[in-house]
Structure 1
Amino acid sequence: MRRIVTLAVLLAACPLAFAQAYKWKDAQGVTHYADSPPPAGTKYDKVKTTGSVVPPAGQTPPPPPAAKPEPEKPSAGPTADTPENRAKLCATLKSNMETLAKPQQVSVDDGKGGQVPLDDAGRKRQIETTQAQMTLYCK
């Protein structure tokens, strides 16, 4: 009975020993890894797999990715009306106006952590709002 169990475990692990991986870059420069070859005509490299998560001898594992800094949280109360704060707001408004003036696609925060692209009417409203705020705060 023990021989049957041992044989079953060996047969189950056998495909891992012969696994083949392929690495290639697409037209956009994105690197892909797969267990099947890429589309015909694509230059690729065969990657040797060990079936283990332990790096080969002499190699050190890559460092873990650095923690992303937390985005600034909005303050709970109103911001003090100081010359420094007005200057920061004015600089932000001018930057926003430059972005809105460009012909590229612009997105705004949807309030749920996502982004929504602006259509022409939305862009016009944002420009009008930004101009009004600049009139108030950029003196």
Structure 2
Amino acid sequence: MRRYLVLALLVAVCPLAFGQAYKWKDAQGVTHYSDSPPPAGTKVEKIKTSGVVIPPAGEPAPASTVAAKPAPAAPVADTPANRTKLCEQLRKNADTLSKEKVVSVDDGKGGSRVLDDAGRARQVETTQAQMTLYCK
């Protein structure tokens, strides 16, 4: 009985050891990994797999494409020194928003995007509100 169980396990796992994976970057510069080929015309790198990746308990199985997510920022202690640093950065941001013609911000995907007039107005409003709250 044990031999049949081992044989069945080997037959089930064998195709996974010879699997093919693909790595490519999309137009926004996000790196994708997939077991199916990317859209036609995309520069692709084939990756040979050597086994199976099992997600940790409690996490859903990964989708066919995976984008890296940055780690969440650790909380910062509310000390006078940290408030001073924050206020200095907020003043620099306000200065940049008021003087520079073109301002880019992080797009949350590892790249940046240029602020339009409405985006700039929202950033100015947010910066002023933060300065009122933290820089007394």
TM-score (norm 1): 0.47
Which structure is larger by alpha-carbon Rg, 1 or 2? 1
Larger relative contact order, structure 1 or 2 (CA cutoff 8 Å, min sep 6): 2
TM-score (norm 2): 0.48
